[in-house]
Amino acid sequence: MDIFELIREAVGTLILNKMRTGLAALGIIIGIGSVIALISLGQGSQKAVENQIQSLGANLLTVIPGGQNSGGVQGALGGGTTLILEDAKAIETSQEITTINSVSPELSRRAQVTAGRNNTNTQVIGVYPTYENIRKISISSGNFIADRDVRSLGKVAVLGPQVVLDLFGEGTNPVGQNIRINGQQLRIIGMTVSKGGSGFQNQDDVIFVPLSTAQKILFGVAYVSSIAVEAKSQDVMTDSQNQIGYFLLARHKLSDPTQADFRIFSQNDILNTASQITGTFTTLLGGIAAISLLVGGIGIMNIMLVTVTERTREIGLRKALGAKKKIIIMQFLIEAIILTFSGGVFGMGLGIFISYLVSQLVGLPQSISVSSIALAIGVSGVIGVLFGWYPAKKAANLQPIEALRYE
């Protein structure tokens, strides 16, 4: 009996017992579908986070108060007000720092904002005009903060789409209207293009004002929350971190890097951390879903054991007519493999459909991993072999006479 005849017979046997075959394959279908869907959704979430982080700016370094190991400069925890506007200006004009393009000092605070009878609590960021290019901000209506606004302490604001929605409703253009922040009236001069939310903050739920206005009129502080620095290229990011770090150490009169009152991190640092977190989460989801594959394999083994019991007389007759053990083993193994492989194919379709549906509902980018599909289908074949081997071996070990007498 050749392999093709065994395959035809196995298919015929599975078709003959449609209900049993369907129930046995259901566990594998659910298992494979769950693995592919959850891994795809996990990878989609990872890609969404990466896109949001990258949208904040390219080749970006951020200096913030407080010490921490970064860019070759080590430091302990420091205060939250150790960076000032003059630090940013000194970095920009320094002859020692040769690897940067532009600098953007920033002051970020949350505040209650009102417009007429509507109000919202949002992030207010005091910025320089360089913020627009460094942070890759696009304007959908009006203009961004200009140098004259910073010099004159202009009471102007640029709103994110979410703030516009909260304060003025959907489909409105707020340019020219007024809002109030901490009792101060500001005129809206622009609205940004939507960037969407991320794991750190919603880039649409923000208001930009001139840095001088934020410091002297709205919040009454002299420090800045952070200094964003755009490096010339990805290749000089580490050099930029070191140059800025040692420059600020000297400027702050700190001889010991471990006592730094600031820390520097790059977009790559954030991206790597976020990728590790989401990657771990994806692996965890895949591991949980893989449990259902194990359950499905056990279900197939039980079905095959029942099949062996039902076909005991048939097995005895085959062996009495000269069928060898390996033929009996092959027959049942092929049935188990066909069962799991076909379940894997249906499960693949189910997983892709679920991931597509959820991605559309949640708004995540769909990410179907070819490797996860190949792995899931491969695992289903391995399950067929592993959980089909015992029933096949049991069938092959039956004695012909005892099998023929079986009732």
Tokens coding 84: 């000032």
| CB-neighbour burial class of residue 250 (10 A; exposed 0-12, middle 13-18, buried 19+) | exposed
Q: Which pLDDT band, with edges at 50, 70 and 90, does 393 fall under? A: confident
277 and 201 in a common domain: no
Contact 198, 49 (CB under 8 A): yes
pLDDT of residue 70: 41
Q: Rounded distance, CA 286 to CA 189, Å?
A: 48
Q: Is residue 93 part of a domain?
A: no
Tell me the per-residue pLDDT of 46-90, one tens digit each, with 9 for 90 and over: 777 767 666 666 688 889 987 554 444 444 333 467 899 999 999
Name the least confident of 20-24, 269-273, 301-305.
269-273
Q: Is residue 256 part of a domain?
A: no
Q: Is residue 126 part of a domain?
A: yes
pLDDT of residue 123: 94
Residue that terminates a domain, selected from 224, 245, 260: 224
pLDDT of residue 321: 67
220 and 112 in a common domain: yes
Q: Is residue 185 part of a domain?
A: yes
**Domain around 195:** 105-224
Number of domains the chain is built from: 2
- pLDDT at 274 exceeding the cut of 90: no
> Phi, psi (5° rounding) for residue 373?
-65, -45
Q: Is residue 233 part of a domain?
A: no
276 and 396 in a common domain: yes
280 and 220 in a common domain: no
Q: Is residue 96 part of a domain?
A: no
pLDDT of residue 74: 40
- pLDDT at 109 exceeding the cut of 70: yes
The amino acid at residue 207 is I
How confident is the model over 2-15, as a mean pLDDT?
Answer: 73
Closest CA to 134 of 55, 37, 24, 50: 55
Helix H or strand E encompassing 159: strand 156-159
Tokens coding 243: 């140059």
Q: Is residue 326 part of a domain?
A: yes
113 and 42 in a common domain: no
Q: How many CA atoms lie within 13 A of 314 on its CB side?
A: 10
pLDDT of residue 80: 66
Tell me the per-residue pLDDT of 347-390, one tens digit each, with 9 for 90 and over: 888 888 888 888 888 777 777 777 777 777 777 777 777 777 77
25 and 127 in a common domain: no
The amino acid at residue 402 is E
Most confident of 9-18, 44-53, 112-121, 261-270: 112-121
Percent of the chain with pLDDT over 70: 82
197 and 276 in a common domain: no
pLDDT of residue 5: 73
